[in-house]
């Protein structure tokens, strides 16, 4: 027998929206199960039941924006903390990249419910995604996300000589963190003092901690790609919209 699931969870599993969005739509009467409107939060459905949403929900979702910003040092990814400004405070019509090809017009209300889909440390720079779309947030940072992220990492080696090949291989696979083995990474030298890291997970300060484990000190870290979306020529401190034909 199939077990009933919470309607909002099932909608998220199907990729219709995030759980938070699902609850909003349910309360507004925008969700139907087998053709019948369901407006009670906490309602449950069977996996085989058909879930549809009203056009109002689809229209609202289509208006939600996703913004790519080249975060500078000194800004936090999310809420303001310890006196540091959040990256969202950089977004205005004045700081929009002049070469942004999206036809979307900037509106201050686009800043409402704009949340980071992944973090960058305060002392790290590069590509940061801010989105109003729960589907994108789940795709990038959900428990089942397998979107890879690429970083350029400038390092200094604490020991005499050069990092042994065996330690480079350890960065690729074999390290543990917080008591759990890390997923396999792709790490290689770009030049004599810079490594390229490609990860499929994002533990707190993961790259810095990985480097410390093999005697490397990180002196600069820049995220240059998330999935198929690259930082490209986006200037530091400026932003652009995710284009309609772009996908992570």
User: Would you please indicate which residues are annotated as catalytic (active-site) residues?
Assistant: 121
Burial of 200 (0-12, 13-18, 19+ CB in 10 A): middle
Q: H helices of 93-164, where?
A: 134-141
**Residue holding tokens 């419910």?**
113
DSSP E strands, 73-161: 115-116, 125-131, 149-157
> Do the strands 36-37 and 239-241 form a parallel or antiparallel pair, or are they unpaired?
unpaired
Residue 27 makes CB contacts below 8 A (sequence gap 6+) with 39, 41
């Amino acid at each position: 027998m199939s077990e009933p699931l919470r309607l909002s969870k099932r909608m998220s599993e199907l990729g219709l929206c995030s759980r938070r969005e699902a609850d909003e739509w349910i309360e507004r009467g925008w969700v139907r199960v087998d053709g019948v409107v369901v407006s009670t939060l906490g309602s449950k459905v069977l996996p085989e039941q058909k879930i549809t949403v009203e056009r109002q929900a689809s229209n609202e979702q289509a208006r939600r924006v996703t913004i790519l910003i080249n975060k500078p040092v000194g800004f936090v990814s999310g809420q303001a903390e310890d006196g540091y400004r959040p990256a969202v405070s950089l977004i205005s019509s004045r700081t929009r990249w002049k070469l942004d090809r999206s036809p979307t017009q900037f509106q201050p209300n686009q800043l409402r419910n704009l949340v980071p889909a992944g973090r960058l440390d305060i002392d790290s720079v590069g590509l940061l995604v801010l989105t109003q779309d729960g589907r994108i947030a789940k795709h990038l940072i959900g428990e089942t996300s397998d979107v890879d992220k690429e970083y350029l990492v400038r390092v200094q080696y604490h020991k005499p000589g050069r990092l042994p090949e065996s330690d480079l291989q350890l960065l690729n696979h074999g390290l543990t963190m917080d008591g759990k083995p890390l997923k396999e990474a792709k790490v290689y030298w770009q030049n004599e003092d810079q490594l390229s890291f490609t990860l499929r997970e994002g533990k707190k300060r993961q790259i810095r901690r990985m480097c410390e484990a093999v005697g490397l000190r990180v002196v600069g870290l820049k995220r240059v790609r998330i999935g198929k979306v690259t930082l490209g020529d986006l200037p530091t401190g400026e932003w652009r919209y995710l284009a309609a034909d772009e996908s992570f």
